Structure 1
Amino acid sequence: MSRRQMREHIFTLLFRRDFHSKEEMQEQIPLYVESQEELNEADTEELIRKISALLEKVEELDEKISSVTEGWTTQRIGKAEITILRLALYEMMYEEDVPSKVAINEAVELAKKFGGNESPAFINGVLAKLV
């Protein structure tokens, strides 16, 4: 599976976080994995490892995002956009094999696919402040 495909799976699961409790998310992960026929065992393990690690860091990520989004709390940012920002910032901070430029570019691509018309520019601007 490509890294881009893995990011989309992580995005989809992370997006669900804003609609489910922490306990429900523990149920959502296996349900999601079971519904994805293209995931092999290695992909499944990687997906579960990454989403679990990312979910543990959401509050920390939100604090960093809030520090550069003047006048915008994380609750005010659109669900797709905050999910993309969390994922990209996590990669920038904790995934040593992902250069920041790549994380930002991939986040912009996710914003084009899942966000609104102004999402790519917003995502790019916020992440540029966090580099």
Structure 2
Amino acid sequence: MSQTDGNGQSPQAPKKGPSTKTLARRQARTLAMQALYSWHMAGQQLNEIEAQFRVDNDFTAVDGAYFHEILHGVPRQKSEIDGAFESLLDRPLDEIDPVELSILRLSTYELKNRIDIPYRVVINEGIELAKVFGATDGHKFVNGVLDKLAPRLRADEVRANRR
């Protein structure tokens, strides 16, 4: 005997939400983007920014190691990261909104250094950050740049995904 819902349909298995690890990494990305914005705007030392973020935010549900990696990795590779996407911009780098610039740097870092994270996930996470923190259409700008950047940095993965 099969079960049905009130409409005579067989119930489907409940959709699985993001894993705890995924949510912890998303939280790390969100905080790292904000910390990178602070670094860009105020020029504070990274260790001071990190300490302040760890005091001001509850890190129990945050991948703290990933937060640290992004916060310190992006500035260390800033020239290389900026160079990776600068030719894809429709305006000079210094005219990019600081929030969107922080998101592009974070996402480019992930595309370059974290091949364990699928490029589509990197792009989607960048878009979501831009929707929450960026200007009205900032997510469209971030999406456009990352869509052009992914095939440059992850050619094999993008090609395989298009098949």
Which range, TM-score by smaller chain?
0.7 to 0.9
Q: Aligned equivalents of 2:69 and 2:55: distance in 1?
A: 16
The answer for the alignment partner of 2:27 in structure 1 is 5
Q: Pick the aligned partner of 2:52 from 21, 31, 35.
A: 31
Counterpart mapping for 1:1-131 below 5 A: 2=23, 3-21=25-43, 24-37=45-58, 39-40=59-60, 43-70=63-90, 72-131=91-150
Matches of 2:32 and 2:82, distance apart in 1:
17
C-alpha displacement of 1:104: 0.5
* Larger RCO of the pair (alpha carbons < 8 Å, separation 6+): 1
Check conservation: 2:70, 2:106, Cα contact below 8 A. no
TM-score w.r.t. the length of structure 2 is 0.71
Alpha-carbon distance, 1:49 to partner: 2.8
* TM-score scaled by length of structure 1: 0.87
RMSD, matched Cα: 1.9
Cα distance in 2, alignment partners of residues 7 and 46 from structure 1: 8
Look up the SS of the partner of 2:63 in the other structure. helix
Amino acid at match of 2:138: S
Task: Say which SS state the counterpart of residue 120 (structure 2) adopts.
Answer: helix
Counterpart of 2:100 in structure 1: which amino acid?
E
Residue identity opposite 2:83 in structure 1: E
- Structure 2 unaligned segments of length 5 or more: list them: 1-19, 151-163
1:127 offset after TM fit, Å? 0.8
Distance 1:18 1:119 in 2: 18
Structure 1 unaligned blocks of 5 or more: none
* 3-state SS of 1:96 partner: coil
Matched to 1:87, the amino acid is: L
Q: Distance in 1 between matches of 2:144 and 2:69?
A: 29
